Amino acid sequence: MSEKLMISRMGASVPDTIWVQGRDLCTELLGKIGFAEMTWLELTGELPSKAQTTLLEAMLLTLVEHGATPMAIATRLTYMGAPEALQGAVAAGLLGMGTTFAGTAEGAARMLYAGLKDAPADADISALAKAIVDRELDAKRPIFGIGHNLHKPIDPRTPVLFAIAEQQGYRGRYVALIEAVAAAAEARTGKSMPVNATGALGALCCELGLDWRLCRGLAVIGRSVGLVGHIAEELRNPIAKQIWMRTEEEIARSIAIADAKQEQDA
């Protein structure tokens, strides 16, 4: 048998209580802390300050609901096919929270951590930002957390999130760096490239000291609420079958048009 110890201190059940992160669920947590505090406790092993809770709540709220996203559609279609297993429908939706949608906050946090890793306290943030922008654009890579297709000229969530961070004493160097990155990108490209919500979330993950790989975890937690919400609406007013039928109809229509065109061209 392997000799290495296999240690996890997340929690344990004993006959007269449940231990969670070294705390008694029944006497120390239930009725004493809120859901966002519990989230912080799970992520870090420590209870959060009021400021950390407030900021984390705003971040989680931002991630819950965006209407008929690909994730919400996948959840509804899956629930129609497997109503016996709500957990599978939520899982199907969460599986779309990958690099396209959740990866940018993660990428922004990683970039910001790396950018300030060895920087002295009095580092020139603008110069650091310019170096990042030049490196990424020279390599023809997109800069995470900057610009948005729909939300123009600014992403309305960013100033609100940063204002909450400021009130709570968490508007620090990472926020400054992403703002400087946005400014440097605008200066170089001549285009409007404000910090978007995923950039703001990535910067705030850094301010809170969370591992950049957990940015995607926050997205998953927030979106799980939204996807259960979509199932709740689907129970009241189902639309999954219509989404399916219209997709089939549209494909049939498109094929007919394409085939007619091809015949005509021939």
Residue 247 binding its own copies, by CB under 8 A = yes
Contact region with its own copies (CB under 8 A), list: 112-120, 130-138, 161-169, 172-180: 161-169
Q: Helix axis angle, 103-116 relative to 197-207, nearest 10°?
A: 50
Contact region with its own copies (CB under 8 A), list: 136-144, 175-183, 185-193, 244-252: 244-252
Closest C-alpha among 89, 98, 92 to residue 232? 89
204: left (phi over 0), alpha (psi -120 to 50) or beta: alpha
Residue 9 binding its own copies, by CB under 8 A = yes
**Footprint of its own copies on residues 41-80 (CB under 8 A)?**
42-45, 54, 56-58, 60-62, 64-74, 77-78, 80
- Nearer to its own copies (CB atom), residue 190 or residue 242: 242
Contact region with its own copies (CB under 8 A), list: 5-13, 116-124, 131-139, 175-183: 5-13
Residue of 50, 87, 191, 262 interacting with its own copies (CB under 8 A): 87
Contact region with its own copies (CB under 8 A), list: 116-124, 133-141, 172-180, 229-237: 229-237
Burial (CB count within 10 angstroms: exposed 0-12, middle 13-18, buried 19+), residue 10: exposed
What DSSP state is assigned to residue 25?
I
- Nearer to its own copies (CB atom), residue 114 or residue 238: 238
Residue of 142, 156, 169, 209 interacting with its own copies (CB under 8 A): 156
Closest C-alpha among 221, 115, 256, 120 to residue 174? 115
Q: How far is the CB of 49 from its own copies (least distance, A)?
A: 15
Say how far apart CA 199 and CA 175 lie, in whole Å. Answer: 9
**Residue spans of alpha helices (H) in the chain:** 35-44, 50-64, 70-81, 86-94, 103-116, 125-138, 157-167, 173-189, 197-207, 215-236, 240-265
> Quick one: three-class SS letters along 169-183?
CCCCHHHHHHHHHHH
- Nearer to its own copies (CB atom), residue 121 or residue 237: 237
Residue of 119, 160, 172, 176 interacting with its own copies (CB under 8 A): 160
Say how far apart CA 113 and CA 133 lie, in whole Å. Answer: 15
Map residue 166 onto helix, strand or coil. Answer: helix
Residue of 96, 107, 199, 202 interacting with its own copies (CB under 8 A): 96
Residue 260 binding its own copies, by CB under 8 A = no
**Footprint of its own copies on residues 99-138 (CB under 8 A)?**
99-103
Q: How far is the CB of 165 from its own copies (least distance, A)?
A: 10
Contact region with its own copies (CB under 8 A), list: 126-134, 137-145, 180-188, 225-233: 225-233
**Residue spans of alpha helices (H) in 117-214:** 125-138, 157-167, 173-189, 197-207
